[in-house]
Amino acid sequence: MNKLQKALKTNAIFSSISGLTMILLHQPIATLFGTSNNTIFWIVGLVLNYFAITIWYEIIKQRKLAVIWIIIQDYTWVVGSLILIIFNPYKITLIGNLIIGIIALIVLSMAINQMIGLKKTTVNIT
């Protein structure tokens, strides 16, 4: 398994675990975030699991454009997280913002490792 595959595998596992956690524990997570609306948490959980499936596929295929798209999505997650923390439009609790920040740092780390792995790996252009 090359560096890119290892970086993608880390992302897929983290996304799967995060998604399942959000689906199964959507109500307690909503409480931590200071909201009674728990729908967003299980929706994000479903999207994360779909994202994880696409990553597992690319661990095998390693198509350059698809891997770049995964990396872009990770960076978008980080930017979105920063916007949520800075502007706090939904009045998220301090613990909720800390969770968002910690996850954003983990996702940023994964994106950087995937970029490094992509540079060191010869992959298909398609």
Q: What is the pTM of this model?
A: 0.94
The pLDDT of residue 1: 83
In sequence order, what E strands does 10-120 have? none
What mean pLDDT do residues 113-120 have? Answer: 95
Does the structure show a pLDDT above 90 at 62?
no
CB atoms within 10 A of CB 121: 15
State the average pLDDT over residues 8-23: 98
Identify the pLDDT of residue 112: 98
pLDDT for 123 equals 58
Q: What is the pLDDT of residues 65-86, one digit of tens each?
A: 999 999 999 999 999 999 999 9
